[in-house]
Amino acid sequence: MTGHAEAVTRARAIAGSVPDPELPMLTLADLGVLRDVVAVGEHLQVSLTPTYLGCPALREMGQDVCRRLAAAGFDDVEVRTVLSPPWTTDWITGEGRRKLADAGIAPPHPAPRRAAGPVPLTLTLERPQVACPNCGSSRTAQVSAFGATACRALYRCSTCAEPFEYVKEI
Amino acid sequence: MGFDNAYEAITEEVDDHRWAFGTGFVEPLSGIDAALPTGVAGDDVAAYCLMLGDDALIMSHRLQQWLTNAPELEEETALANIALDLLGQARLLFTRAGAADGSGRDEDAYAFLRSEAEFRNVRLVEPVDIDFAGLVVRLLVFSTWRLALLQRLRGTHDPILSAVAGRGVNEVTYHRDYAAQWVVRLGDGTDFSRQRIIAALAVVAPFVDELFVASDIERRLVDVDVAVQPSALRPEVEAVLIEVLGSAGLVWPHGCAANTVAADAPAAAGHDGRHLAELRDAVAELQSVARACPGAVW
């Protein structure tokens, strides 16, 4: 490995280890929003993807990445936004899912693979069963499809009576 | 982390674990290639971005006005999330507009420094909701229409519109489901809640035809595969509305599509800058801080 490639690998590890501002138990690499790190000479380009279009955490992520890279000696860093293809919860790594569950947040089911044509309403569709991250019971019910942040839904467990959050698949 | 009180937490210097949101957002399309598809007029693309962006911004503003007024905390959270998603779409669309028309205006210039006559949203997003039933009915119609539109917009020749649509489809799917579930719950609930839904349908109905009428700009952009043909959305939108209302034992006030296309075909009112009086108040409130304290950051 050349010195150049080693530097990019090191920069990728640093950028990937930045915690997510909304779900600080996850790193950007766990969340799947770090899309690429490339070097053009001394110039480093870090590509991030927003989870939701309105997610204000993207700016924080970019600033944190720059700060940490600067502390490691990377002075010329540009953060780029990549919109396409859009982020999906399927990109949360296995490690990320384990960390979510450890923190009492149910990890997402696989995102729906929709065929072409109109998106079906969920009125008549069964919701996927979400297991309680505290006691493992499958007797849980959705309280609200929208939680404290765009990516989370609110659930309650009927067995242990604990409320919990679920990262909804998208 | 680990603050004794909330004030300490929000006044602490920025570290890399917490929120520190204010103004001074970075340009949301930084690093994205802003080139226009060949043979497409930049002014038309910008105008189309403003139509889609203004729809999102004004609907988002109306949703935000429900915060602290919603019937339950969970509903307030849901409305705030939906408003934030739409605001995110508006930010990208405004930024795209500023690049496409060559003016270099940023998102704030479009949101805060235009008069209401310069807004290009459909009139559906303008009225003040009389009650929660009014909101969920309007949100159902809006999100059903926007979902059908964004789905088709994924195939546009403009790469940024396509990317915004690709992300937006997944988000608006949740919005539509939320509204649909409330319309069914209230429409099939008590006599009172049912009457409120029926009254809300009557309020929204006059603004529906406009959604399917193309302005001159949209016609030009449809010809170069940048914009979606509005009339093509009608069958899908109506099918969804019929399904949702049918689940609650309700019907659309005008009957349905086929017989609403009258001899006097409706004009593209909002997209051509003709608005309801309510928009003036919404825009005045939306812009009050920016107008009172130009350039303020915090």
pLDDT per residue as tens digits for the range B73-118: 889 999 999 999 999 999 999 999 999 999 989 888 999 999 999 9
From the list B75, B85, B167, the residue facing A86 with the nearest CB is B167
Residue stretches of chain A with pLDDT short of 70: 1-2, 115, 124-126
pLDDT per residue as tens digits for the range B214-233: 999 999 999 999 999 999 99
Q: Where are the domains of chain A?
A: 3-81, 103-167
CATH number, domain of B279, equals 1.20.1260.10
pLDDT of residue B271: 87
From the list A55, A86, A168, the residue facing B166 with the nearest CB is A86
Q: How far apart are CA B14 and CA B24, in angstroms?
A: 14
Q: Is B151 on the interface with A (CB under 8 A)?
A: yes
Q: Is A62 on the interface with B (CB under 8 A)?
A: yes
Q: Is residue B11 part of a domain?
A: no
Tracing tokens 């209401």 back to the chain, one arrives at B116
pLDDT of residue A2: 62
Which A-chain residues 63-82 have CB contacts (< 8 A) with chain B? 63-64, 67-68, 78-82
pLDDT of residue B248: 93
Contact B31 A79 (CB under 8 A): yes
Q: Is A59 on the interface with B (CB under 8 A)?
A: yes
Q: Is A94 on the interface with B (CB under 8 A)?
A: no
Q: Is residue B220 part of a domain?
A: yes
Q: Is B192 on the interface with A (CB under 8 A)?
A: no
pLDDT of residue A84: 86
From the list B88, B151, B174, the residue facing A54 with the nearest CB is B88
CA distance B116 to chain A (A): 24
Identify whether the C-beta of residue B181 lies closer than 8 Å to the C-beta of residue B119. Answer: no
Instruction: Work out the average pLDDT over B35-59.
Output: 94
Q: Is residue B17 part of a domain?
A: no
| Residue B288 in this model has a pLDDT that exceeds 80 | yes
Q: Is residue B113 part of a domain?
A: yes
Identify whether the C-beta of residue B166 lies closer than 8 Å to the C-beta of residue B172. Answer: no
Contact A118 B162 (CB under 8 A): no
Which A-chain residues 114-143 have CB contacts (< 8 A) with chain B? 118-119, 121-124, 143
Which B-chain residues 233-262 have CB contacts (< 8 A) with chain A? 236, 239-240, 243-244, 247
Based on the structure, what is the number of domains in chain B? 1
pLDDT of residue A22: 85
CA distance A60 to chain B (A): 7
Residue in A119, A142, A143, A166 to test binding to B, most B beta-carbons within 10 Å: A119
Instruction: Work out the average pLDDT over B242-264.
Output: 69
Q: Which domain holds residue B101?
A: 42-291
Q: Is residue B297 part of a domain?
A: no
CA distance A93 to chain B (A): 20
Strands A163-167 and A105-106 turn out to be parallel
CATH domain A3-81 topology = GMP Synthetase; Chain A, domain 3 (3.30.300)
Contact A146 B82 (CB under 8 A): yes
Instruction: Kindly state the tokens that stand for B160.
Output: 């940024």
pTM across the whole model: 0.86
pLDDT of residue B1: 41
SS3 string, chain B, reads CCCCCHHHHHHCCCCCCCCCCCCCCCCCCCCCCCCCCCCCCHHHHHHHHHHHHHHHHHHHHHHHCCCCCCCCHHHHHHHHHHHHHHHHHHHHHHHHHHHHCCCCCCHHHHHHCCCHHHCCCCHHHCCCCCCHHHHHHHHHHHHHHHHHHHHHHCCCCCHHHHHHHHHHHHHHHHHHHHHHHHHHHHHCCCHHHHHHHHHHHHHHHHHCHHHHCCCHHHHHHHHCCCCCCHHHHHHHHHHHHHHHHHHCCCCCCCCCHHHCCCCCCCCCCHHHCCCCHHHHHHHHHHHHHHHHCCCCCC
Contact B243 A123 (CB under 8 A): yes
Residue in A83, A127, A170 to test binding to B, most B beta-carbons within 10 Å: A83
ipTM: 0.82
From the list A45, A59, A147, the residue facing B26 with the nearest CB is A59
pLDDT of residue B261: 44
Q: Is residue B171 part of a domain?
A: yes
Q: Is residue B20 part of a domain?
A: no
Give the chain B residue whose CA is nearest to the CA of A125: B177
Q: How far apart are CA A67 and CA A72, in angstroms?
A: 9
pLDDT of residue B257: 45
Q: Is residue B4 part of a domain?
A: no
